Amino acid sequence: MAFVIIAAVIAAGAAFWYVGARRTRARRREVDESPYHLGLDALIAGNSDGAIEHLTQAVRDNPRNVDAYVKLGNILRERGQVKQATQIHRELLVKRKLPTRVRSEIIKSLARDLASAGRWRDVLEHLATLPRAERSDPRVLTMTRDAYESAGDLDKAAQAHKELLKAGSLEGEPAPEVYRAHLGLLAFRRGDTRRAKAEFQAAVKEDPGSGLAYVYLGDIAVREEDAERAVAYWMRLISEKPDCAHLVFERLEKAYFEIGDFGRMMGIYEQLVASSPSNVMALTGLSRMLERKGAVDEALRIAREAVKHEGSTFEGHRQLIEILMRHDRYEEAAKAAETLLAGLADHREERTCPRCKAALDGYSWRCDSCRAWVNEC
């Protein structure tokens, strides 16, 4: 008898479990196939058209689905529809009573919209309304710093960068001295030479490896009509970062020419070639000097040496052809041009940003398009 009762209890339990499980499965299926979840799936799959369609349906079905609105706005921003994105996020903030966490998410999304529109002061204003803990989140600090940077408030940008490094920075964020050098370049581009100089000097003092800063310190010295000091800065770049020496060759040639000490330049090239015989830029420089001195055959020999080591820049070939042309050796020039063209067909390289592939304009620490850090020297 006891056995029958136990069996009945087990059977009832199993039946109960079965019905319950079926209900749960049905509910789960309903959730999985709701427009909101279909929208999230499409978002993950990178199908922004599908995501917009489902999320729009989701907010139609349930106008209180704040997350669907937030995500819809984010997709629109990423598609370049910044105005619509801003409108959606702004309306969410105005109308609803929201939990703090949700409100913060909306504020961050709105800040990104405003950043896309280049409205930096508005970005800063909104980020300042976040709770303190959120404001020290590295991603928020990055946004804050970049907004100050773009608004031209360099002191606040430097402060935010320090906080960012303290907060356990995101990967790839530069050391404080490199950031200072970067700020120096921003000041330099704006014509604020005094500030630029101070930043560059501080950068090279803290880290003599901030190579590019020497380039610009020299440029500032030239503006101040102090060619000797310019040369001193550029020579420090050559001695501390020989790989970047080519950045200042042209500048040095011009400066030595003005000082009237053109022979010094030859010595610099000879020294560099002696220590790194495959330095194409130094070889072409030396070849140029030799030609100017009238030693054409020696100039050609060095240019041919450069050809052996040249990468996709074809600097050696260019030099060789130019010297041959200037000395009416057209047949040889044509031959050199032919091999150059054959090589050019499959090598076309310009300096581009490693992240967004935009062409890099001038030498800097940061890509102007996507703001990735690209310390080239």
Chain residues binding Zn ion by CB under 5 A are: 353, 355-356, 358, 367, 369-370, 372
Closest distance to Zn ion from the beta carbon of 365 (Å):
12
Task: Specify the residue for token string 């600097």.
Answer: 315
Cα-to-chain-centroid distance, residue 85: 25
Minimum gap (Å) between residue 376 Cβ and Zn ion = 13
d(CA 24, CA 3): 31
Cβ proximity to Zn ion, 201 vs 369, nearer residue: 369
Q: Whole-number minimum distance, CB 324 to Zn ion, in Å?
A: 39
CB of 361 to Zn ion, least distance (A): 11
Residue 296, Cβ neighbours under 10 Å: how many? 16
Q: Which is nearer to Zn ion, 262 or 363 (CB)?
A: 363
Q: Which is nearer to Zn ion, 145 or 317 (CB)?
A: 145
Look up residue 332 and give its two tokens: 């040889």
Counting Cβ atoms within 10 Å, is residue 12 exposed (0-12), middle (13-18) or buried (19+)? exposed
Burial of 11 (0-12, 13-18, 19+ CB in 10 A): exposed
Q: Are 111 and 104 in contact (CB under 8 A)?
A: no
User: Could you tell me if 102 and 69 are in contact, meaning their C-beta atoms sit under 8 angstroms apart?
Assistant: no
Contact of 279 with 270, CB cutoff 8 Å? no
Least distance between Zn ion and beta carbon 363 (Å) = 14
Nearest distance, CB of residue 76 and Zn ion, angstroms: 23
Cα–Cα–Cα angle for 245, 249, 255, nearest 5°?
130
Complex with Zn ion: residue 131 or 354, whichever CB lies closer: 354
End-to-end CA distance of the chain: 89
Question: In this complex, which beta carbon is closest to Zn ion, that of residue 24 or of residue 352?
Answer: 352
| Minimum distance of Zn ion from residue 357's CB (angstroms) | 7
Q: Do 247 and 363 contact (CB within 8 A), yes or no?
A: yes
- Closest to Zn ion by CB, 353 or 377: 353
**Nearest residue (CB) to Zn ion, 57 versus 369:** 369
